[in-house]
Homo-oligomer: A and B are copies of this chain.
């Protein structure tokens, strides 16, 4: 049987995230210094506490957690989430628990997008989301970033352009805090202006929030969701992932937003996963009930902070003047702009030979809209010594282009 002839069009057109392929291509290089992945450090995993809680939950609540659970997610866990964030007024139907943030983003896109529908997306942005939008046939319009987040004048031009085409964007996808891959954080002023603009233009905001709790310095900013609620706008769907603050293997995130949209996402969850893993849900509930989450996040921040510092210092020390980079106050990524003539996709192979890896910046743009003189560095996985040595090697490779 020729399976190829059986595949659906969306399946045949589906892009792959390429990051896994890139990471795989360097897998067998001994002593490789990898700035490529987006993996949290396993040293931050609270293994002993979780081990004990898993045992407790299954022994004491096994009758409940090993049985079928709610598609909308465990009410007890949602209650803990609301308490944690200080949303005492939210109810069960204001949120949905998902199998990681990508899962929530998928349900959100599936609930809103017909093939050909226009959306706005920061560029660069998280590849996993871009390919998911592409997979449902979205017409992706890019908005680039400056130090304060996505450029509003570009967004306005984009909206005007769509109007000329007789179209309207359904939503804008943004990662306001320690953006992946850029590392930038949207300023408070920009957040407020974005909300007003989107409210006026009838554009829903999808706020992807995996990193905001990973702030090592500076002041925590309110999420777009919180600002939207305070302004009585109700136009934001915020998705908070537990991958970077607990453990990505547990596949847990939660989405808050308008009840009608949450209800549709729950319908998709029924069809796609039935429910999240009920054991995991109750384990995180207990972890939070025991008051372990916030101290754990403090520990992670304390742990990561020197890695960020040391990568920023190494960049300062070794990079030629023609290279620039973002200076995040948290998260796990730094973004580099190279001189125009350097193609980071090509340079990737040279870097691999020198036993350093990164993700070429082009991978964070929708198809056909790539930029090539840029790259993403992760600082949460390598050792301090590797960071210094790796950045030094990378600088040498860049200098070899005569810049």
| A14 and B267 contact, CB distance less than 8 A | yes
Report A189-203 CB contacts with B as 1/0, cut-off 8 Å. Answer: 000000000010010
- Please choose the segment from A95-103, A323-331, A385-393 that sits at the chain B interface, where 4 or more of its residues have CB less than 8 A away: A95-103
A111's partner among B11, B99, B247 (CB-CB below 8 A) is B11
15 contacting pairs across A/B (C-beta < 8 A):
A11-B111, A14-B271, A16-B270, A42-B67, A47-B58, A51-B56, A66-B246, A66-B248, A67-B248, A99-B273, A100-B273, A249-B275, A250-B277, A250-B278, A273-B273
Q: A54-B279, A63-B45, A66-B50 are in contact. Are A99 and B102 (CB under 8 A)?
A: no
CA distance A340 to B236 in the complex (A): 52
| B66 and A267 contact, CB distance less than 8 A | no
Q: How many copies does the complex hold?
A: 2
A135 at the B interface (CB under 8 A): yes
For chain A, residues 238 to 278, give those with C-beta under 8 angstroms from any C-beta of chain B.
Answer: 243, 246-251, 258, 260-261, 264, 267-268, 270-278
By secondary structure, the A interface counts as helix
Residues of chain B within 8 A of A54, CB atoms compared: 51, 54-55, 58, 279
A50's partner among B7, B40, B62, B268 (CB-CB below 8 A) is B62
| B1 and A271 contact, CB distance less than 8 A | no
CB distance from A46 to the nearest CB of B (A): 8
Where the two chains meet, the residues of A that have a C-beta atom closer than 8 Å to any C-beta of B are: 1, 3-4, 6-11, 14, 16-17, 20, 39-40, 42, 45, 47-48, 50-52, 54-56, 58-59, 62-69, 71, 99-100, 102-103, 106, 110-114, 117, 128, 131-132, 135, 170, 199, 202, 204, 234-235, 243, 246-251, 258, 260-261, 264, 267-268, 270-280
